[in-house]
Amino acid sequence: MSVKEKIIFALAVCLGALLIWLGDEGGSPLVYEGSSLQHTVGLIDSENNLVIQESVAANGIVAGTPQYVLNRGSYSAQLTYSAEQPGSVLELWEQSEKIAAWPLDSEQPQMTVDFTLSKDAKQLQLRVNYSGQGALTIRGLSLSPHTLFYTDTYFFMALFLMGSLLVWLYRNGRFASLTRERLVDFGVILGVAVLAMTPMMQTYLYNGDDLCYHLARLEGLKDGILDGQIPVNIQPDGLRGNGYLNAMYPYLFLYLGALLRICRVSIGLSYKVLIFLANLGSAVCAYTAMRSMSRSRRSVMLAVVLYTLMPYRFTNIFSRGDLGETLALIFWPLVMAGMYHVVMGERRYWYYLVIGMSGVLQSHILSAAFAAIFCVITALIYCGRVVREKRYVEIGRAFLWFALLNLWYLIPFLYYYFGENLSTEVLRWSGYFEQSINLSNLTQSVSLYNKQYFSLGLALIGCVGIGIVWLLCERGDKRNDREKFLLYLLVLGCFLTYMTTGYFPNRALLAYGWFRDIVTMIQFPWRFLGPACTCFLFAGAIGLSESEVIRPYRNVVFAMLVGLNLLVILSVPTDNSHMPYVNAESVVSKGHESKLAANIGLFYPHEWRIDGAFDERLTASVIMSDADRMSVRDYRKKGTKASVAYTADGESCYLELPIQNYLGYRAYDENGTRLPIEQGMGGRMRFRVSGDGAEHTISVRYGPNLPFIAADLVSAAAIAYAVWRLRKARKTLRNED
């Protein structure tokens, strides 16, 4: 770059950063008119005020804001109102507990209150409690941070500056080894990932069936990191501060989102970043897997486009809100390519299977079970070749490395699954067969207005047709080993698709206990669409480049398949309103509220709780068996550590701490003597107290757990050794060049 170009580039970067900074809404207040508040009684007048008359004969909570996920810090709330009689109150609630209240002065038209959150809030809400006396008119309510609600703007500025730096380095020849062909490939991968992200480039966060749970996981992981847990097994502030088990649902890839939350990036943007990385990862894995099985760039690029824009991925992201299965789909191409190389392909690519299986396991347990079954069936089908060519060495090596790399997660998972008294029957709520899909839906694009909408899409059905023409009609008995493996994938994909439809005899098979036990744990037959789509992808993308019959039309077919897949993007509905600033006077913007998860909220499902820990049994207070003979004071809880002081005049008394009694907690008295922990009501910790009338202290903390620590060390050593081997191999290649 010349001096002139460098100056222009620097000025352009400064201008871009300035424009991003000027668009910052992190410090803008959330403003609601009375009519915009959530309300149970009252009328809306011509000025959009909420009017509650004494004639409604009701009192209590009459209006409130949505529930926010807010960072710790100081805030101000301002209520504009008119009250004929005193007694009404503005209240602050967090996870169903009132934490502050301010009475309304009937002689004032407005009140402003300040409050400080000592820790991040999960379900913060401002509520107006009506006394029932006299008329109350609520004109408006606003919430303002003393600093910032979130740091999203600064995150975007950091990304912009990092991208600018990469462009600067490239323009100055720092990436001389990057060929033009490789640069084009990277551009296509990044472009497809961005294109797949466009339906989510909205100011608000699109809600899905399970999104509220995955947002809770994201928040819980952040809280666990701040608590000092690495890895995080307990979400310390979940379930109204009682704690929620984190080890049962894979969470490795959520660490990035949790780190963004620690940097005060909004929960909405943190989730969107994870989705973008899932799109990018899907494109990269499809590229890598297909490139290892085909030399055709046409096949590779087609695989990137078709897999990243696959309709089932979009259904998971937007309709189901299933982050776990979305992440697992990233690695399915590597699992299938890895098995191909292990049983008949390039032996040196055995690590594809390790990466693929590890990625699936660290994303979604059921998907990992599916992937493991696929690997076992494939190994059995090709067992003769495996033994004859001694490929069991690569299989054993892949299994060993998979176990070592994932031991840090597997040990806690198995420890709690088999050792803890967990509520798991709720996992079997689905009757399975009624969730089967109509065969006619397989040909259509995504429609999120129908929540039970699942499709292969026309492009992947086209891949099925290409595979049939090439592998069955054209090749016939002349198929080589790779083509036989692709035919196996094609048949497997068709069978898995058949299992998702109503034509498969699910209802009849449910009469057999073994079948019912398996499929009710799977819950939904449409889960088989993910691996089925991957099977069709390999057969169709490779067949397009290698079929002699299709050769004269391959460019047209390529364009048609890509074009059909682009329709998936167009069919994802956004919102009835195309304007982000619908009512600037009512709410600063749709996105400003949504970034705080106000339109979604957090949810902790019943599975993986201590058995009996229902919502109505949860409390944030210490429970005493006999309030007349006992007293408690100074209960404190921070993360997974808690302490309480008590006095008691009876040996038969006990107290219960509002903490879920998961395995791994330890309790000690003021002398450091370990105390036994019993199971209380609602899964709480119960302690038998000393009834000598003196004051005693109970201190509780989670861990350390020696088997968990040993597993962490083994996995860390395996990762360090793998990195060392990789660096050594690269150094050897450079020396040979």
Q: What integer pLDDT is reported at residue 514 of this predicted model?
A: 86
Adjacent-strand bridge partners of 94? 97, 124
In 330-457, alpha helices (H): 332-343, 350-361, 365-381, 383-388, 392-419
Q: Which pLDDT value is given to residue 228?
A: 92
What confidence category does residue 51 fall into, taking pLDDT thresholds of 50, 70 and 90? very high
Whether the Cβ atoms of residue 330 and residue 359 lie closer than 8 Å to each other: yes
Q: Which residues pair with 215 in a beta bridge?
A: none
Cis peptide bond upstream of 704, omega within 30: yes
Mean pLDDT check: name the lowest of 188-192, 334-338, 452-456.
Answer: 452-456
Segments in 420-512 forming alpha helices (H): 458-467, 481-500, 506-509
Contact predicate 213/426, CB 8 Å: no
Q: How confident is the model at residue 624 (pLDDT cuts 50, 70, 90)?
A: very high
* Element of type H or E holding 269: helix 267-293
Which contacts of 388-396 are long-range, i.e. CB under 8 A and separated by 24 or more positions? Answer: 391/342, 391/343, 391/344, 391/347, 394/342, 394/347, 394/350, 395/342, 395/350
Report pLDDT digits (tens) over 544-602. Answer: 999 999 989 999 999 999 888 887 777 665 555 666 676 666 565 677 888 998 878 89
Say what the pLDDT of residue 734 is.
67
177 within 8 A of 734, measured Cβ to Cβ? no
Q: Could you report the per-residue pLDDT of 188-215, keeping only the tens digit for each?
A: 999 999 999 988 888 788 888 899 999 9
pLDDT of 452 strictly over 60: no
Cα separations (Å) of 3 from 6, 10, 17?
5, 11, 21
Residues 6+ apart with CB under 8 A from 197: 272, 275, 276, 279
Contact 280, 190 (CB under 8 A): yes
Output 590 or 346, whichever has higher pLDDT. Answer: 346
Token pair of 525 as six digits: 């037959």
- Summarize the confidence of residues 400-426 as an average pLDDT: 91
Summarize pLDDT for 98-138 with one digit per residue, the tens.
999 999 999 999 999 999 999 999 999 999 999 999 999 99
The single residue listed with the structure tokens 């009834």 is: 691
Measure the CA angle with vertex 427, ends 425 and 429; round to 5°. Answer: 85
Pick the closest to residue 535 from 568, 489, 587 (CA basis).
489
- Between 449 and 711, where is the model more confident? 711
Q: Is the pLDDT of residue 17 over 80?
A: yes
**According to the model, what pLDDT value does residue 640 have?**
94
| Cis status, amide bond into 231, omega within 30 of 0 | yes
Residue type, 407: L
Average pLDDT, the chain: 90
How far is residue 239's CA from residue 97's CA, in Å, rounded to a whole number? 12
Start-to-end CA distance of the chain, whole Å, equals 29
Contact status, residue 435 vs residue 500, Cβ threshold 8 Å: no
User: What's the predicted TM-score (pTM) here?
Assistant: 0.93
Tokens of 338: 């890895």
Give the integer Cα–Cα distance in Å for 393 and 350: 10
390: left (phi over 0), alpha (psi -120 to 50) or beta: left
Sign of CA dihedral 147, 149, 155, 156: negative
Phi, psi of 199 (to 5 degrees): -65, -20
Reference 50, options 82, 77, 92; nearest CA is: 82
